[in-house]
Structure 1
């Protein structure tokens, strides 16, 4: 990585990280991608705009989100 990691930074500045998306993602490229960062945080980007902004979360924040998704806390957002 060539820049200090912060929310809203260009995902292009996170060179060398391994971005990955869910196997449930659609074929149209409308996916959220995640990457583990060297400092232990997790970056998130929109696959339609791979050089756009990246949101950076702590592992605890990602764990809380995933737990909520598993528990159905966001089901009302997808119809």
Structure 2
């Protein structure tokens, strides 16, 4: 069983499928997510696909996505 740590090089996560929002800009200004075999979720910057990936539990990603859908982070992009 693999152990995934925050800051792991994204290119070392072999066999995962990275998903980018269809709202991403043409210049790749987006984050990408990938489901990991152990149920966690990796996140990377699409402008730096070889750079570090942050690893989150499914509960953490769920809380973030719910907060986003409810507008809790809107002040960060206004």
Tell me the TM-score normalised to structure 2 length: 0.95
5 Å-filtered alignment, 1:1-79, equals 4-79=3-78
Give the root-mean-square deviation of aligned CA atoms. Answer: 0.9
CA separation in 1, counterparts of 2:3 and 2:57?
15
CA separation in 2, counterparts of 1:5 and 1:12?
13
Comparing 36-45 with 3-12, which one deviates more in the overlay? 3-12
Post-superposition offset of 1:15: 1.2
Post-superposition offset of 1:4: 3.1
CA separation in 1, counterparts of 2:29 and 2:3?
27
Tell me the TM-score normalised to structure 1 length: 0.94
